[in-house]
Amino acid sequence: MKRRDFLNGLTVGAAALGMSAALRPVSSFALDGKSSPAQEATPRILSIGYRTIDVKGRSARVFGLVQPDGRQGLALDAGTDFDVALSSAIDEPTLIHWHGLTPPWDADGVPDNPAALIKPSETRRYTFPVGTGGTHWMHAHTLQEQNLLAAPLIVRTAEDLKRDEQEVVVLLHDFSFLSAEELLTKLKGNATHGAMAMGHGAMQGMAGMQHMMSGNTMAGMAMPGMAAMDINDIDYDAYLANDRTLDDPEVVTVEKSGRVRLRIINGATATAFTIDTGGLAGELVAVDGQGVQPVVGTAFPVSMGQRLDIRLSLPKDGGAFPILALREGAAERTGVILASAGADISRIAVKGEGKGPLLGLDLERRLRPVGPLVIRAADRRFELSLTGDMAAYTWGIDGADGLVVKRGERIEVGITNMSMMAHPMHLHGHHFQVIGINGTPVAGAVRDTVLLPPMTSVVLAFDADNPGRWPLHCHHLYHMATGMMAYVTYDGVG
């Protein structure tokens, strides 16, 4: 029996529901297999609605993005059309961004840029080429993202469908029983106290950041004085993997001697993680849905908005294998468990014995793309500086006013982070290549979201081939909401 047939036999579909029915929670984010050829003639149905999940013994009403049979998210075939009828069954306006795809500007999903919000009970159809394969996701480009308005968006290639390996999709999130508006109010209210408390500690932190800029710091290693930096400005009530905590984790049945492809999506709004594969050596084969030359390891950093594809080979004797997401600079963790039939599964504490690693740029320096950009001179280069005012809890991008490009140009953007927090910077509508890190040229990964730790710099290159007014912003939701958002505007686009 081929492994794919074995795995398909394990699939248990959620109960079917009508478009007007209440959305039911689903325990697994496993997506369907091959897409039906009929989807090219009729749109896939996707509904925004409410669902209830259990978090630490309490019920919580959250958002969902589900198909009519209750499955979260979408799985599509590369090279086909993205043809989706998106309906809203919630009582407030919203809009969904297709993170990782390169749709036409009017389908991008950022409110009033240029499309209006979807009203309650409205249905809107999206049709555009889905592009090449990759691990992507979809989410609200509003504060509603905090309340789990996000889901996987997987685009599979023909090679993916033929490959004899199991696919396990893991969507990470940070969860609060408070609303996003309440969290933002607390951030602004606590900011002055936090800024005043830094004092001498901030000066110690500068020494660590200078060491980081030297290029000698390994990703994930603690650095002298870095505790003075604001690593996490929100302590959440829970950290979720596929809607669940480690108190009741998802257990994914796997085959002895099998091969697994983890598709990790960091959908958290303000939390970075390190993926810990434990006793299984992982092979990182893609970032942000774009192939990279394999990197072997057991610890892989992933910031907000980023994705990782990690291949695992399971031992012939099977067993239980936790795949953990360690919260940056803190003891909390979440994750899923891969387990073969009959394996003993031990309880895993929600808090580990040590703190999760700090995210750096060591892995970024090592990444090499499978499909790099064609080498050519830049037609235009911009220099941006990321800034922050902790006293007012406002964030910004200096130098962003003149980000105007022309179609067909090769664009380079140098970004320097002069603030005391890390910023995962995401560009809509394009994929870029990382071509410089801390002043050193690299032939780095092609991706759509790159992390800038404090006092670091990167240079990005992309081809201006998708006219529009495209957001370039920090994927920390509250940094974006308080000013860290700019636009790359094509000449002639209003």
Q: Which residue intervals of the chain bear CATH 2.60.40.420?
A: 3-156, 380-490
The CA distance from 404 to 382, in Å, is 10
- Quick one: pLDDT at residue 94? 98
Distances (CA, A) of 257 to 65, 251, 280, 282, 383: 34, 17, 12, 15, 50
pLDDT in tens, 390-427: 778 999 999 999 899 999 999 999 999 999 999 999 99
**Whether residue 16 has pLDDT greater than 70:** no
Rounding to the nearest 10 degrees, give the CA dihedral for residues 23, 29, 32, 34. Answer: 140
Alpha helices of 163-287 — where are they, by DSSP H? Answer: 180-213
- Quick one: pLDDT at residue 191? 59
Residue predicted with more confidence, 369 or 189: 369
The CA distance from 467 to 488, in Å, is 10
The residues, any chain, with a CB within 8 Å of residue 21's CB and separated by 6 or more, are: none
Which CATH superfamily groups domain 3-156? Cupredoxins -  blue copper proteins (2.60.40.420)
The CA distance from 471 to 454, in Å, is 22
> Looking at the domain 380-490, which fold is it?
Immunoglobulin-like (2.60.40)
Are 140 and 94 a contacting pair, CB within 8 Å?
yes
pLDDT in tens, 116-170: 999 999 999 999 999 999 999 999 999 999 999 999 999 999 999 999 999 999 9
- Quick one: pLDDT at residue 229? 63
The CA distance from 62 to 253, in Å, is 27
pLDDT in tens, 435-492: 999 999 999 999 999 999 999 999 999 999 999 999 999 999 999 999 999 999 999 8
